[in-house]
Structure 1
Amino acid sequence: MAFSPTHPNLLATGSGDNTIKLWDVSTGELISTLSGHSWSVVAVAFSADGEMLISGSWDKTVKIWQISTKSEIASLVGHTDSVSSVVMRDDGGLIISGSKDKTIKLWRR
């Protein structure tokens, strides 16, 4: 799970139902559900400006999401096993993912 750095009440959570859920923690309300992964989502991280979210999944992919439109921007493919961690550099130009395939991948936007 990850809190938005620009909207402190916005929480993103990965889920075993292959989705990412966006929550308003001040009300407990489910704001949106992002679908696109084909297996459990186990890692999420916001960009520093809060405009993008990245997710890692057991489906071996890293996805980039536009928060304002709730849509998938890109799917990064290259790991040969489950993605277990993701992070985005402050400027959003570099995404780093770790996988059960024993690799760390650097992705440039």
Structure 2
Amino acid sequence: MAIENDLVRICSVGELPAEGAVHEFPAGKKMLCIAKLNGVISALDNECSHHGGPLGQGMIENGKVICPWHAYAFDLTTGLCDDDADERVRVFEVTVSGDDVLVKL
């Protein structure tokens, strides 16, 4: 459901993944990988740019989300890949408003 200016509610604060974990959430017609590390919520395209693996089913290691299919590592803030400079996933702006976690698509 769009709130305003392309902001989409993805979950409540209580539904966020645990600290140091990732989870998949729908956002409109997209699926996003939502991560929480050091209290910061990150939202990335859920589809690994390497071979389409589901990043939200991966894990966090050294500030990167690790794709469960081929272990490609993507930075939570930039979306850049450690393993291949040509690979990158889109990162989305996250806002918390009250109990709602919103992502700008």
Q: What TM-score range do you get, normalising by the shorter chain? A: 0.3 to 0.5
Higher helix share: 2
What TM-score do the two structures reach when normalised by structure 2? 0.36
Q: Structure 1 length normalisation: TM-score?
A: 0.35
Larger relative contact order (C-alpha < 8 A, sep ≥ 6)?
Answer: 2
Which structure is higher in strand share?
Answer: 1
